[in-house]
Amino acid sequence: MTLGTTYDPNNIFAKIIRGEMPAIKVFEDQDALAFMDIFPQSRGHTLVIPKKAGATNFLDADPADLSVLIGKVRRVAEGVVAALGPDGVRIMQFNGTPAGQTVFHLHFHIIPVFENEPVKRHAGEKADIAELEALAEKIRAALA
């Protein structure tokens, strides 16, 4: 898919928002949902998505919606850092297939970076669900 793709209301993130697909949630309010990436690039890799459907990527999004969402991204990133103590953190966002986007619902990646631990490739190896649950619990506690 390229930029300008029509939003598909049956994408996996839309299904997660509607409760049709499971997710390991760490944060949710009326505007955003944050959950563990099941194909993490590092320990604690978290996704933040708007609950409002319609934007496939950053360039499709209403600037007013983005201004609300970026505050949620920051809050979740602070929780990830507080919970896991990484040496750095990447905040990433992909737009279009050639840029690495695999789900066409606007989303941000929060990727903790730990010295001496390589970051895995994007959308690579599926994580152990029990490990994701344990990490999510730490992040939820830091966000409380």
Cβ atoms of 109 and 40 within 8 Å: the answer is: no
- Cβ within 8 Å of residue 49, ≥6 positions away: 13, 16, 17, 32, 33, 34, 105, 106, 107, 108
**Number of Cβ atoms within 10 Å of the Cβ of 115:** 7
Tell me which residue range forms the domain holding 82.
Answer: 12-143
pLDDT at 82 (0 to 100): 98
Residue 52's SS3 state is coil
CATH code of the domain covering residue 109: 3.30.428.10
Domain count, the chain: 1
Q: How far apart (Å, rounded) are the C-alpha atoms in residues 16 and 61?
A: 19
pLDDT at 109 (0 to 100): 98
In a domain, 106, yes or no: yes
Distances (CA, A) of 143 to 8, 16, 65, 72, 80: 31, 21, 22, 11, 8
In a domain, 3, yes or no: no
- Cβ within 8 Å of residue 85, ≥6 positions away: none
Q: How far apart (Å, rounded) are the C-alpha atoms in residues 59 and 121?
A: 24
Q: What amino acid positions are annotated as catalytic residues?
A: 107
In a domain, 5, yes or no: no
In a domain, 124, yes or no: yes
Q: How far apart (Å, rounded) are the C-alpha atoms in residues 126 and 77?
A: 22
pLDDT tens digits along 99-143: 999 999 999 999 999 999 999 998 889 999 999 999 999 999 999
pLDDT at 123 (0 to 100): 83
In a domain, 69, yes or no: yes
The backbone torsions φ and ψ at residue 91, rounded to the nearest 5 degrees and listed phi first, read -110, 115
In a domain, 67, yes or no: yes
In a domain, 7, yes or no: no
Average pLDDT rounded to a whole number, residues 40-44: 97
Average pLDDT rounded to a whole number, residues 20-35: 98
In a domain, 48, yes or no: yes
